Amino acid sequence: MKNRKPMHIGIIPDGNRRWAEQHKLSREAGYAYGLKPGLLLLQQAKTYGIQEITYYGFTVDNCRRPKEQVQAFQQACVQAVHDLATEGVDLLVIGNTDSKCFPEELKKYTNRTAINGGGIRLNFLVNYGWKWDLSNIKSAGFLHSSDISRIDMVIRWGGMRRLSGFLPVQSVYADFYVEEKLWPDYEKSDFYRAMDWYKKQDVTYGG
């Protein structure tokens, strides 16, 4: 299908620590270099006609890393959400707010909020865990992430070929594209290359 495009894309921005090491920086210094790529990609997605986008910030498992790294990616996620919110978006931050790892500054966005007039649905996973997400089904009958739609395509930077617990229910039929480049090295061409790849995929959903 020549004009096939994903309505909802998931973004796993991996490789920040490896990038920092390659540039002779401390591991925790790498997270700040992922801020500009996130905003650029959002702007491209809006222009391209994507309706919903979900960024993977950090997981509950990431909180076992050294204190300096945890503080660095927490701060980067807070800044990323603030930067992304400068666009016209319908913003939702999803994650375990009962944990002290969840940044206090982001709790005001845990209900979907129209920013600057609203627009593309923007989801940001912060202190997210797939077990935490699924646990709500047993107690309440629905996912914590129930306001996030099914994902058409997941794009992961950094060369790793795994979902790392990224929205397992919404990703059940997602096409999975891997970019070998590390996230801080993001370029506009990365997005268009991924979209061109998606157009060529055959989707039957089991039919």
Over residues 30-86, the pLDDT tens digits come to 899 999 999 999 999 999 999 999 999 999 988 889 898 999 889 999 999 999 999
| CA–CA distance, 36 with 27 (Å, rounded to integer) | 18
pLDDT number for residue 138: 87
* Count of C-beta atoms within a 10 Å radius of residue 191: 23
pLDDT number for residue 205: 57
pLDDT number for residue 95: 97
Mean pLDDT of the chain: 94
Percent of the chain with pLDDT over 90: 86
pLDDT number for residue 40: 97
| CA–CA distance, 52 with 182 (Å, rounded to integer) | 23
Asked whether 89 and 118 are in contact (CB, 8 A), the reply is yes
Which tens digit of pLDDT belongs to each residue from 157-167? Answer: 999 999 999 99
Domains of the chain are 8-199 (3.40.1180.10)
pLDDT band at 2 (very low <50, low <70, confident <90, very high): low
- State the pairing for strand pair 153-157/89-94: unpaired
